[in-house]
Structures are given as C-alpha cells and as structure tokens.
Amino acid sequence: MPFVQNSSDISDAYSFMNIDAPVMWYLFMIAIIAAIILLVLKKDMFSIIPTAISAVIFVISLVAVNFRGYYGRNKYDIYSLTNLLSSGNGSDDAKYVLGLGVYVLIVGYILAIAGCFIDIMKYFKKDLGVDSRYLSNSINKSVWKTMYYYRGFYIMFLPVLIMIILFNYWPMAGCRYAFTKYVIAGPYYVGLKHFVQMFTNDLYFWTAFRNTLILSIIKLILNTGAAVIISLLLNEIVSLGFKKTVQTIVYLPHFMSWVVVASVFKMILDPNATGVVNSLLLKANMINEPIYFLGDSKYWRGTFYVMNVWKDTGWGTILFLATLSGISPDLYEAAQIDGANRWKRLIYITLPALANTIITVFILNLAKVMNLFESVFVTMNNAVLDVAEVLQTYVYRKTFSSGNSDYGYTTAVGLFKSFVGMILVLSCNYASKKVRGRGIV
C-alpha cells in the first residue's frame, strides 16, 4: 500500500525534512517573490528567469523530498531516474508507482504561473497602464517628490493594505501547510504526499469534486435560463404598476440568507409535521407515503435546484431587463410594419440583442463555480452526502466535524479547489475579453 505512514517513516521524514525541505521552500518563495517584483517593475522578460528557477526548485524538492525523505533512503534506489518514475524495486511489500496526479500538478503549475503572468502583463499594459497624459504633469518631478506629494494617500491606503495582507495574503502563505504534516508542535514537510493521496487514494474527494461541478453548472444553466425567460415575459407587461409589483416580489427572495431559504423549504417539504407539499400530494393520491425531499439522495439535487431557482432567478433578471430596455423601439416598429409577429420579433430582434448579456452573465458566474459552499452546507445532511458533498463542505467536515482533523490534508484539498478556481477565473477572463472586450477581474 502506498502512502501508509508508519512510525519509522515519520522519524525519517522528520529528521531529513527539517534540514533540507524548508530551505527548498524558502528558495522557492524567494524566486516567486522576485518574479513578481520584477514583473511589477515592468521587467517582463527578466521575470521569466526566477519563474523558471522556482519551477526547477519545485521539481527538485518534489523529487528529493517526496521519495528520499518520505520513504527513507534504504528502501528504494532513488538515484536512478528510471526507477524513480516507474516503480520501486526495493522491498516487495511496497511497490510504488508515481500517480498521474503529480504530472498533472506539475504541468498545471507551470501553465498557471505562465498564464497568470501573461495575463497580468496584459492587464498592466492595457487597463491599468499609466496613460501618457497623466504622466505629463509629473515628468519633471522625481519619484520621491511625487511620493511626498501623495503621502496622505499612502496613509489612507494603509488600513486596506493591512486588512488585505492579514486576511488574503497571509492565508495564501498558509497554503504551505498543504505540503506539511500539520502537528501542533511544529509542522514538518512531507512533499506532495497529500496531493498524491488525494488524487489516487481518496474516493470522497473525487465524489466531492464531481458534485461541485455537477451542482454548480446545472444550477447556473437553470438559473440563467429561467432568468432569461422571465425577463422576456416581464418585458412584455404593459401595465407599469403591475410590472413594478411583480419585480418587487421576484427580487425579494434574494435578500434572504441561505439559512432562511433552507428553513422555509424544510418547513413546506417536511414529511411529517408541517409539510404542505407532502400533504397535498397525499391528498391527491399521487403518492402513498411522504417523500423525504431533503433527506433522500434521489430527490435532494432536484430540491436544491428548485431552491436555487426560487431564490436567485428574480435577481438574475436585473441585467437582462437593463439590456432589454436599451433596445431601440424603432427596431420593433420597423419590424411590425414589415409584418413580423411577436415570435419573429423575439427571434430576430430581442434574442440577438440579449445574446451578449447572456454570455456575459454566464462567464461571470462560471468563474465562481468552485465557491459553492453555503447553499449546500445548510441544506445537506448525512443521508445525502453522496450527491450533496462538494469540495468546500468536504474540507469543512473533514476538519471541524471529525475527531482527528488533519489540517495539512484539508489545506491540500482547499489548495486544489483554489487552483482550479484560479484557472477558471483566468480562462473566463480570457473569454470575457474575447466576447466583450474587457476582463472580469
């Protein structure tokens, strides 16, 4: 069995790691920070070098740490590369094959860093790049004089900076725990062990990952579709008062928290005490015994989608309505004179005008796919884990609800989630730039 840790392994890992691996880690961090600083200073070409160095350090530490340290020097002949990449030829009780996940991680890591930097470079050049007309005033001043002039602003930004560093950047640095065994006495380095275990040996993780994608993508499609249909119909209402009333009502659920929505639905779907739906179905003889909508794997997903549509569809119509009200009435008039009926006007005028907004909304929400947490967390229970567990709830439950919480492992799961999220955001950003000419971040 790979990755079963016995006591001798721990001591070996501990003694070896404490000397070498942190050094690797700090070298790695220094290279990354150097890359970022160079980038900020607009030395785009030079920043590639530290990036490449950091990648090399990463691979070296991966090899050194994961195999030599963790399994011990005497077990495997790790000095031969072929042995390392295929299988161990040491003791027969622990044949080891490097999991696919490691390769995916390495390639993904390099791609992401490169992609991120290319993206940032573009960002600096286009959106935030200092316009020459702004520079004209200060071209003769030295940087220090300009900085002195703006001294008040640095103080103004200080609170924001402190908060950002404390609650955004410090946790990012905390991602290093994903590569350690977290014990109170002092975390020690275990290399990529958690990731390999996660990808090769953890069925719950894959279930959670699949559920995250299924739940949030189907939810996104249903919500967007419903919002488009409702805004099209809403746009056809003539009476202004009626329209305003309807809008007020359909926006209302958006302001309820997920706890409230879950509570309301729990009350009306309850199988025994107060459930309206079950009593109606029973009365109509459509079912013989009450359905456990929130406690049965068969029905949970459907109920979840219904709750999502109920809560967010109305709010989703705002953007579509704004677009619809921007369509020139002349177009409709001209079409009407040409004899186009309501259906034809919808197909040839309204939908093309709306298409861009639909894509925009879709992209904006696709970037948030991995963040699914609260809505699932408040509606799930232990009976529906197989269909309801998403990555964030998996992390939460594994850390806070189980007796022996392994912070290192759950950090690794969280890091994977953030990583996929980052790729999604960057690709959505790219798509958004293609579609509407500007990014989402």
Partner 1 sequence: MSDNSVVVTKKKKKFKIFPLVNGLIFILISLAIMLPIWKVIIDSFDARSAYGFKWVPTMFTWGGYRAIVTRVALYRPFGISCIVTIAGTFLGLLLVTLGGYVLIQWEMPGRNFFAYMLLFTMIFDGGMIPKYLVMKQLHLLNTLWSVILPLSINVYNLVLMRNFFEGIPEALFEAAKIDGCSPMGIFFKIVLPLSKAALASIGLMFAVQFWNDYTNFKIYINKDKLFNFQIKLRNMVMDSDIPNDDAVDPNTISSASVIVAILPFAIIYPFCQKYFVQGVNIGAVKE
Which residues 70-99 are close enough to bind partner 1 by CB under 8 A?
none
- Return the range that interacts with partner 1 (CB under 8 A); candidates 22-30, 70-78, 83-91, 411-419: 411-419
Q: Between residues 91 and 245, which has the closer beta carbon with respect to partner 1?
A: 245
220 lies in the site for partner 1, by CB under 8 A: no
Count of residues near partner 1 by CB under 8 A: 115
* Among the listed residues 15, 86, 89, 257, the single contact to partner 1 using CB under 8 A: 257
Q: Between residues 69 and 212, which has the closer beta carbon with respect to partner 1?
A: 212
User: How many angstroms separate the CA atoms of 12 and 8, rounded?
Assistant: 6
- Return the range that interacts with partner 1 (CB under 8 A); candidates 4-12, 77-85, 169-177, 217-225: 169-177
Residues 6+ apart with CB under 8 A from 87: 95, 96, 97
* Among the listed residues 52, 218, 268, 435, the single contact to partner 1 using CB under 8 A: 268
Site for partner 1 in 331-360 (CB under 8 A): 332-333, 336, 342, 360
Task: Let me know: does 190 contact 408? Beta carbons within 8 Å.
Answer: yes
Query: CB pairs under 8 A, 24+ apart, for 417-424?
Result: 417/212, 417/370, 417/391, 417/392, 418/175, 418/370, 419/108, 419/112, 420/370, 421/367, 421/369, 421/370, 421/371, 422/112, 422/116, 423/108, 423/112, 423/115, 424/366, 424/367, 424/369, 424/370
Task: Let me know: does 413 contact 395? Beta carbons within 8 Å.
Answer: yes
418 lies in the site for partner 1, by CB under 8 A: yes
Interface map 125-154 toward partner 1 (x if CB under 8 A) = ---x-xx--xx-xx----x--xx--x-xxx
Task: Let me know: does 317 contact 227? Beta carbons within 8 Å.
Answer: yes
- Could you tell me the end-to-end alpha-carbon distance of the chain, in angstroms, rounded to an integer? 44
Q: Between residues 176 and 301, which has the closer beta carbon with respect to partner 1?
A: 176
Residues 6+ apart with CB under 8 A from 55: 109, 110, 113
Give me the least distance between CB of 75 and partner 1, in Å please. Answer: 31
Give me the least distance between CB of 400 and partner 1, in Å please. Answer: 7
Q: Between residues 57 and 178, which has the closer beta carbon with respect to partner 1?
A: 178
- Return the range that interacts with partner 1 (CB under 8 A); candidates 13-21, 72-80, 82-90, 263-271: 263-271
29 lies in the site for partner 1, by CB under 8 A: no
> By three-state DSSP, how is residue 235 classified?
helix
